Chains A and B, each alone.
Chain A
Amino acid sequence: MRHFLLIMASVCWFSMGSLYAQERTVTGTVTDSKTGEGLPGVNVLVVGTSNGATTDFDGKFKLSIEGDVSLKFSYIGYKPQTVKVGTRSVLDIKLQEDVEQLSEVVVVGYGQVESRDATGAVERVTSKEFNGGVISSPEQLIQGKSAGVQITSASGEPGAGVSIRVRGSSSVRNGNNPLFVVDGIPLSGNDVTAGGPDGGLGTSAPRNPLNFLNPNDIESMDILKDASATAIYGARGANGVILITTKSGKGLGKQITYNANVSISAPANRYDLLNREQYLQGVEDFGGDLTVLRFDNADTDWQDEIFRTAVSTKHDVSYGDSYETGSYRASLGYENQNGIIESASLERFNARLNWNQRLLDDKLTFNTSANVSRVNDSFAPITNNAGFQGDLLGAALIAPPTLNPDFQTLGFLNPNNLLEYNQDLAETNRVLINISADYDITEDLNFRVNGGLDYATSVRNTATSRDLVIDARGITNNGRASSVENVNRSTLFEALLNYNKKVGEGNLDILAGYSYQDFRFTGTSVGGFGYETSDLSAMINQTIEAGNTVRGAINGDYQQFGYDPDATDNAFFTNQFGQAPTLGNPGSIPIDAVVENNFGNYNELQSFFGRVNYNVLDKYLFTATLRTDGSTRFGGNNKYGVFPSGAFAWRISDEDWASDAFDNLKLRLGYGVTGNQEIPHNLHQRRQSFGGIDINADGGIQQPGRSNVAYENPDLRWEETAMYNGGFDFGFINNRLTGSVDYYYKNTTDLLIQIFSPQPAATDFTWRNLDANVINQGFELMMDYVVVDNGDLTWNVGFNVSRNENRVENLGAFFFDTGNIFGQGLSGDFAQRIANNQPLFAYYMIESDGFDEDGFNDIQEGERQLTGQFPIPLWNFGFNTTASYKNFDFAVYMNGQGGHHIYNNTANAFFTAGSLGSGRNVTEDVVESGESPSNTPIVSTNFLEKGDFLRLQNLSVGYNFDLGENSFIKAMRVSANAQNLFVLTNYSGIDPEVSNTATRNGIPSFGIDYTPFPRPRTLTVGLNVTF
């Protein structure tokens, strides 16, 4: 719009200009100082006048001037330049890129504003600042980059889920992740990878919903933190919004870029387990009897058996061009990421096209962005709720070192067998397409429609062979396998009207919009039991074949079937609402029994919204937003929620009286209400479905009846979060020192929570809006200082720090226990409680001060109590420094957390004297701990540890080659990158950053460490070439 006004102005000027005789014409080309490419759209302004022009596609401009004037050239992302024309009639200008200025535009949802005009707490992280190395998911790109944004990957597993908290946790249920919007399409947040069944080892951790994107395709990520910014996404803005913008062809000229990386990863840390000698001594010292040695003559390090040094590779190539009426960029990517545990890997193929086409004299613009990806996951048998046998990691911790790597059955699970006899593969295809048309109806009025499709299919095939000796669901001698297929489809339609007009001393910008998005999820799960073969792939094929055979004998629709040819009764049945299908004879199948279950749900969101920005004298900025959202998750009169917000910003440094010491000083004040609807499908009507269908441990199938799956709560309504925000943006010393400081207060009310139903009830749990508050308050400080900037040498230092305090209020005598603890002797136990006037997930356990003289828990107080400790970090830090000297560049990123505690469930379950006494291996410190082997390892403060840490997350060095003007290669860069180089911490586990799922009765948890997939230390070398 601004450009448009300028063009109009210059056209007017031209037509008037012919009246004056002294006029002359200046022409020229504006180019990028580095690439030499012409820059289109550069503003050229005669200083002191409103006379100006913009450069055309090739960077050329033509301007009539009068007398001796100066021209100011300005372009977003480049340092402005003012040049005296003198007598010249041709001016060739080289603009220098300005890293500082790159962040001057922020995307705010349904539009973008210049940073100086932003009224909310919004932060942009661009591709130049992204973390390097092995990045399986885009969130990791901005880890530690933004104050108040805590990003924790669940584990070191390739493609693991990530927990992101923008300004703390505001809900007492799962669903605290921010809303992700990729090129305008809000994602559903669903994990689209098909879930794995619980084959007896526990259930696996969720996958990352963003790992379909190639990080190299991302241009920037904008984080909307405060409610005045997120309110435009009212329904889903309560946890913050992260807007991902992918790279476009804008500004490119027939350019091919190729990136290649090779990485090598190894576990950054491992447990100091006892070796053979220490173990034998330990068992004897701790009450075991070695007179009858039944152990092998081995000294096996079981961590060596399951860990590996993994090599990962990544290639991508992109081609982009911009032409007179548009631009495009296409890319292809391939990544093969191997985990540091055997059999864990992620392979991704990715293709993307972004295309922008202007028509009708630039009045109409079409934008297309399309992403197609295929992700192949291979999962190790690692779960987050394993019982006494442990999963792969647990089994490797407790297996005696005296056993041979191929031992079969000696009261322990052999980790090698677990790896050999288990296969778990998922293939996920995902398409994300967004098409929008943008039309300038008048100079002031713009209309846009936007259509999006997000479509993902995923197949997950899992098999555990009959050869695995395990106490779980009849697997031994039978084998189990399953094939699960999920389809997620979401469509989006949006219509937006934007009106921008100068009104009096100010500028008015009004947005009105409508948005509709639906989410359809369907899936089929086939499970088989009883295989002749031990070949894992053959087991999967036989399962699918058996499923198809039985399906072929069913004439009609069904929800479930079960087929057990050996059974005396109910050999073949289906379950179906309404008319049951007729059944033929499936005949023989290659396995003993097969079942199928079909599931799915459908949800819709509809929203109407508006935003008014009013900018007076470029100094006083007002924003007001109103959004109303309707959701099928709520019934009756509660479908719609209304979410208002308002913000004010004052550019103090632009006041005449402002001190010159400030290059920039802006005050921001904001208030807004946002909502949350992340609860399961339709809880406002009573619904019945067929019970879960599975094959029993003895191979029989029990036909499920119909049971209640939802007990209507017609009163359910939106959870609301009101947030106040106040902050300053500042710049001193010619903007060499820049930064911002923010304070916020966040109050979440009408908490959506899953509680036990008052019995008798249709379902054990129901959802309610709890009349209580979750308060998050804190501050954020970000600073960046350019220490040196003198041509050859530049050096930047930046840091961010944030503090978030979290408290539950007005809960009265209600409380909710959570933080499930797993492991032998700990079944059903827990460690946390949500209680009044406490931080979320406050630790609740017996206070014990180590061990007494006899080696027993030195219990201070017999009853469980609130310990005053909590798992959510109070402090988050980020530190970065970048330097460049001539062709070299160098960057370091560190991040840290503090003020919180971690519960070491791994040690509680595995590393105790009693564990050693009964022949399980332990860590070295157990021998020294003074614990008696008769001591019972209760959930106590003995395992509650400080979680403070500082991690060197990323260190990189790069070299940019000097290439001749006419070189075929335009730019070439080599780089080396190290991730997770060291962690400074007193925490005794292998990694202080934990994000395990210890949900209890539907109440989420945080900060419990239980056999996580270890984080790797990774070295990467990379090549980047532009042709």
Chain B
Amino acid sequence: MLHFKKDMKMKNFKSFLLTTLAITAFSCTDLEVEELDSEVIDEDLSSVNVSENLTNLYNSFGAALLNQENTYGLMEITADAQLVPTRGTDWGDGGRWRQFHQHTWTSSNPDVLRSWNDLNRLTFITNQILLSGPDAQEEAETKYMRALATFLILDLWGKVPDRDPSAPVIEDPVILNREEAVARIIEDLSDSQISNLPSAGPGDPSNLRVASKASALFLRAKFFLNKHILLNGGNSGATAENADMQRVISDVDAITAEGFSIQDDYFSIFEEPATSSESIYIITGDNGSTFRIANTLHYNHNFILSGGGWNGFATTSDFYSLFEGPEDTNAPGSGQEERRGFVPNDNLGRGMIFGQQYNFDGEALETRGGAPLFFTSEMPEEITGHGEATGVRLIKYPPIPEVNEETGELEPGNGGPPFQIFMRYADAWLMKAEALHRNGNTSEALVMINELRELREATPLANLSDQDIIDERGRELYIEFWRRQDLIRFGDFLEPWLYKPQSDESKLVFPIPITAVSTNPNLEQNPGY
């Protein structure tokens, strides 16, 4: 009896154990990872989808430049045409905006870091695509984007890190010096590469968002115009080579041949940036041009912009004075040149927003404290402690109001056009004029500049100096990304201006972000930081 039971027990035990061991063995896993919403890339990068990575590349470039900070901040707010004073409690933001304007940025500046990451990530993506078997056009598009990113990195930091895109993150990137980076740009923008790009004329938004012959030519012209600076770091000894300037002239001519032209009615260019005859390369993304509008408008501009603006960005009185027109008013038709814009008393104006602000009903706007909302060109002594109304505001893209379907009345809208122009034909036009001037052909340059000035309803110039060219570029191209680079090229970037003393030569490039130096032993900090 007892024996029998024992047998049963053993039998039970054995089958029980076997079953469970089987289950255990079956459930033992080799822990192979499984993906549900992503794709593992082969080590040789052959599985990278080229066209969708290109789409990402264009999207990423737009996202990196559209907003009011980061790369835009480095390119524009560090110059003389735009500043962000600290307005009481607003726009202190850890001093980042004051650092921009006063050239006191450090290697831990968050905008410098984000810009560094944004632009370098672009070169990684391009390198990754180039190893993944692109066709000839895809290769040319990718190289255009690599040249664009390399150009900006070299301009901003004076050195360009690079790495084998198939290597894992634990390998340290190498560093291209100025010569090597310049060589890569020249190679990426060779005639043979450009010839593989499609032609895209003005007015075609979907083709203007991607590389075209015209945008590559524009980039190459800009590159050769600045090449002596890119090679020498903006030292005073650097001069432009005739051959480089000749490249600028011929590339701009080639852009003209693609069908682009300067456009009458200055602010209409920015009303419909995608279809303007001047738009060569446009960027797009969430909020489109709204950043350029909201950053400067007052909170109580909420009659035209839903929720109002952020009331920060302004220009200096010196820059305001660069334009023709009376200092004390910017009312329509008060004798100012077209590009200075105007402020009507029943709407928001364009260009330089000066003086009393009004809503659609002609009512004068007030600050939040109840004072008249009157933008002044005079500024207090310090860059901090500003009120809500100091500083003339800059607007190029118009906020678009909604039209009430029932009453037909205008109501606040959600911002401006969905595009920003990154490369504009008028810039190319001025680049050619500058190249002619630098090559000694000042008279032809003067003709070009006066042709543009006439179109902009400004008095023609009698003769042309370096100063006239940099000022003309300022008047035409303010808050369009290029002011810092232009000032460096003309040797004006380190000069003192409002709230800023003379800055030292180290400020011609930005510091390498401290986190980048600490994660890559091959990366040396720029001198002076």
Contact = CB atoms under 8 A, between A and B. Distances in A.
Interface of A: 283, 287-295, 388-389, 409-411, 413, 439, 441-442, 447, 449, 469-478, 493, 495, 514, 516, 520, 522, 559, 568-569, 575, 577, 598-604, 606, 630-632, 635, 639, 682, 684-691, 694, 696-698, 700, 702-715, 755-764, 766, 813-814, 817, 821, 824-830, 912, 914-915, 917-920, 932-939
B287 interface: yes
B86 A936 contact: yes
A714 B13 CA distance: 44
Nearest to A691: B56
B24 interface: yes
Nearest to B124: A760
Contact of A411 (B17, B161, B286, B299): B299
Contact of B287 (A514, A696, A711): A696
A712 B92 CA distance: 38
Given A471-B306, A764-B117, A934 B88 contact: yes
List the 10 closest pairs (A to B, CB-CB), nearest first: A471-B307, A288-B369, A705-B56, A705-B55, A914-B88, A759-B120, A934-B385, A919-B368, A829-B94, A760-B124
B414 to A, nearest CB: 4
B209 to A, nearest CB: 10
A574 to B, nearest CB: 12
Interface string B1-31: 0000000010001001100100110011101
Contacts of A821: 94
A477 B31 contact: no
B134 interface: no
10 contacts: A569-B206, A682-B38, A691-B56, A696-B418, A697-B288, A711-B168, A757-B519, A760-B162, A764-B117, A937-B92
Contacts of A937: 89, 92
B20 A696 contact: no
Most chain B beta-carbon neighbours within 10 Å: one of A686, A704, A759: A759
Given A522-B36, A710-B38, A756 B286 contact: no
B27 A476 contact: no
Contacts of A760: 120-121, 123-124, 127, 161-163, 165, 173
Interface string B150-179: 000000000001110100111011000000
B41 A686 contact: yes
A690 B415 CA distance: 27
B114 to A, nearest CB: 9
A685 B518 CA distance: 24
A762 B169 contact: yes
Nearest to B21: A495
Contact of B28 (A413, A442, A606): A606
Nearest to A630: B31
B460 to A, nearest CB: 39
B92 A936 contact: yes
B13 A761 contact: no
B33 A685 contact: yes
Contacts of A691: 56, 59
B61 to A, nearest CB: 11
B3 to A, nearest CB: 16
A686 B40 contact: yes
Given A697-B286, A756-B515, A759-B120, A826 B93 contact: yes
B370 A471 contact: no
B49 A829 contact: no
B345 interface: no
A520 B127 CA distance: 34
Interface string B136-147: 000000000000
Contacts of B168: 686, 711-714
B23 A388 contact: no
A140 B168 CA distance: 44
Given A469-B412, A472-B307, A918-B388, A602 B294 contact: no
Given A682-B35, A756-B515, A474 B55 contact: no
Given A601-B37, A696-B287, A914-B88, A919 B369 contact: yes
Contacts of A559: 37
A705 B173 contact: no
A639 B31 contact: yes
B447 to A, nearest CB: 39
B185 to A, nearest CB: 15
A705 B57 contact: yes
A759 B37 contact: no
Interface in B183-234: 205-206
Contact of A291 (B173, B370, B387): B370
Contacts of A604: 29, 31
A917 B33 contact: no
B88 A933 contact: yes
A697 B28 CA distance: 50
B313 interface: no
A409 B302 contact: yes
Interface string B270-301: 00000000000000111110100010000110
B437 interface: no
B366 A294 contact: yes
A478 B108 CA distance: 40
B243 interface: no
Most chain A beta-carbon neighbours within 10 Å: one of B27, B307, B523: B307
Contacts of B384: 934, 936
B248 interface: no
B442 interface: no
A444 to B, nearest CB: 13
Nearest to B54: A705
